[in-house]
């Protein structure tokens, strides 16, 4: 029953790509996996459902009050379940804020679903808006994808501070599990320096880098993982390394 939020306040850093592939990697190992698409853009939902933008499961959960365990459904061709979302997810978060719901409302709604899975991966919203902290509070751990440009790196520090703030205010909160350099171009001076700065600041929680590759967009457009679409590509091998690091950290390499 481990919940991992994939988060960075900076958009465009590959949160959805990492969420989908960590979930798929764990499912390959036989773990029971759920993806919660808490991003109002609904990109994870679209990737897994061949572009279906009508899945408003998060709205149904938080506003209508339908149970998470009935909303989360198996995805055709994927060995996991999805609690989907779309633009109405943003409406749901605004509703929670406007009605003064308790801070742990999202966590309470998701708890029965989390109890049915070995791992729940939460694709977080890209900014610190309504519902961001409340959704992050669901997680035991946070994994932060980042590009190696300054604004993205600042987002890593923001996420670490936000997790600490939640812990200070609520008595518990997510812990930083890993920082994943994404879309890397190691041949550029900026990226080499960014990688150095990242390791100097966060040390062993910096996980293997994922190189920039057009294969990511191609796999998404076909509704496939890179494991299936381009199994021998360098980006696919990097994603497997990242999945292995997650399992090593949380299961001792089992």
pLDDT, tens digit, 9 for 90 and up, residues 22-43: 999 999 999 999 999 999 999 9
- Distance between CA atoms of residues 4 and 15, nearest Å: 12
Q: Strand, coil or helix: what is 77?
A: coil
pLDDT at 184: 77
Q: Domain coordinates of the chain in residue numbers?
A: 2-248
Q: Which residues of the chain have pLDDT under 70?
A: 151-152, 186-187, 189-190, 253-254
**pLDDT tens sequence across 77-123:** 888 999 999 999 999 999 999 999 999 999 999 999 999 999 999 99
Q: Which residue in this structure is represented by tokens 């669901």?
A: 138
Alpha-carbon span 222 to 80, nearest angstrom: 18
Rounded Cα gap, residues 116 and 127, in angstroms = 29
Residue whose tokens read 């909303």: 71
Sign of CA dihedral 152, 11, 51, 243: positive
**Predicted TM-score of the model (pTM):** 0.92
Tell me the C-alpha distance between 16 and 13, whole Å.
9
Topology of domain 2-248 in CATH is Rossmann fold (3.40.50)
pLDDT reported for residue 186? 67
pLDDT of residue 187: 62
What's the pLDDT at 53? Answer: 85
């Amino acid at each position: 029953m481990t919940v991992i939020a994939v988060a960075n306040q900076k958009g465009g850093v590959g949160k959805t790509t990492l969420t989908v592939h960590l979930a798929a990697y764990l499912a390959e190992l036989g773990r029971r996996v759920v993806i919660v698409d808490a991003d109002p853009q609904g990109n994870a939902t679209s990737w897994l459902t061949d572009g279906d933008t009508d899945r408003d499961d998060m709205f149904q959960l938080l506003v209508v009050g339908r149970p998470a365990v009935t909303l989360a459904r198996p995805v055709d061709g994927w060995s996991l379940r999805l609690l989907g979302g779309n633009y109405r997810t943003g409406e749901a978060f605004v509703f929670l804020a406007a009605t003064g719901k308790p801070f742990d409302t999202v966590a309470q709604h998701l708890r029965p679903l989390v109890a049915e899975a070995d791992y729940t991966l939460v694709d977080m919203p890209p900014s610190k808006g309504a519902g961001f902290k409340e959704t992050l509070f669901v997680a035991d751990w946070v994994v932060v994808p980042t590009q190696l440009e300054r604004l993205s790196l600042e987002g890593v520090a923001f996420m670490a501070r936000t997790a600490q703030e939640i812990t200070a205010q609520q008595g518990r909160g997510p812990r930083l599990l890993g920082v994943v350099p994404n879309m890397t171009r190691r041949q550029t001076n900026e990226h080499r320096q960014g990688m150095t700065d990242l390791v100097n600041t966060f040390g062993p929680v910096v996980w293997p880098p994922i190189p920039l590759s057009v294969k990511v967009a191609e796999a998404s457009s076909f509704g496939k993982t890179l494991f299936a679409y381009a199994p021998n590509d360098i980006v696919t091998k990097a994603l497997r390394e990242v999945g292995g690091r997650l399992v090593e950290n949380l299961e001792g390499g089992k």
